[in-house]
Amino acid sequence: MQILIYNIAALIGATSQGLTGFGSGTLTASFLVLFYPFRDVIPVVAVVGLAANIVMTGLAGREFDWRRGPIAAAGMSIGMIAGAQLLTVLPVDLLQRGLGFVILCYVALNLFNTPTPVVDPKLTVADGAGLGVCSLFAGTIAGAVGVSPVPLLIYVSLRYPKKRARAVLTMAFLVASTVQVITYAHLGLLGGAAGWLAAACLPAVVLGAYAGHRLHYKIDQKSFARILALILVAPAIRLLFFT
């Protein structure tokens, strides 16, 4: 039964990852935490998320943004290391509920005033700095509580068209999830069960990522932004009511 539950969660998360460049860790964790302890789930989800990001690199790596992507990847990776340290020492209840409230506010704003950027903005110092700072905070949040990197998602959804947004997110998450898994292993948060469960979920990850990747090219910009916002409802509810 445990393997089935993990595979369902991984399938949902990987499909979102393929569609938007985001969602594997967030949705997988949001589903699993309803059945298993929070601190047991997050390290396993980190390994599953890394697998999903590797698959997405194979599917969409040719679309990588080699100017913005490294900025986001570096910021998230540094944040992941800091966040992982917090996971080992901090009580997360209040942080989770506060973050859940912020996510729901973002979802409401995004649905009523959906951003629809169609042209890539010029990469300026301000754009690079904004992307880097948002990525740093996003990595810290994701490393500490294993949920959506909200600051980065808000930034890319407001500024970049969907193809560019997914390209930036995919590169950032590939590097950051690798750093996250290594850091969790170093801190002793990863046991043998994490790798075994992640391996059992690999078929669901591949299937979901491929299905989401194909669907990505069939939706318009406004639908993309709204889907990105709606995906956040599940983790927000989980953070607010299931901590």
pLDDT (tens digit per residue) in 98-113 = 667 767 776 776 677 6
The total number of residues written for the chain in this structure: 243
pLDDT (tens digit per residue) in 8-37 = 888 888 888 887 777 777 778 777 877 877
Could you tell me which of 18, 19, 17, 45 has the C-alpha nearest to residue 30?
45
pLDDT for position 147? 61
CA dihedral 50, 171, 29, 145 (to 10 degrees): 110
- Which amino acid does the sequence have at 167? A
75 contacts 135 by C-beta, under 8 angstroms: yes
CA-to-CA distance for 17 and 226, rounded, in angstroms?
15
Q: Hunting for tokens 């290391």 — which residue is that?
A: 81
CA-to-CA distance for 36 and 47, rounded, in angstroms?
16
* Residue 161 C-beta-side C-alpha neighbours within 13 Å: 11
Query: Which pTM does this prediction carry?
Result: 0.71
CA-to-CA distance for 48 and 242, rounded, in angstroms?
22
- Distances from the Cα of 131 to the Cα of 101, 102, 159, 164, angstroms: 23, 19, 10, 13
Helix axes 2-20, 202-216, angle to 10 degrees: 30
Low-confidence ranges of the chain (pLDDT < 70): 87-92, 94-96, 98-99, 102, 106, 109-110, 113-116, 145-148, 191-192, 221, 225, 228, 235, 242-243
Contacts (Cβ under 8 Å, ≥6 apart) of 195:
47
Contacts (Cβ under 8 Å, ≥6 apart) of 22:
16, 148, 149, 153, 169, 173, 228, 231
Q: Hunting for tokens 């997988």 — which residue is that?
A: 28
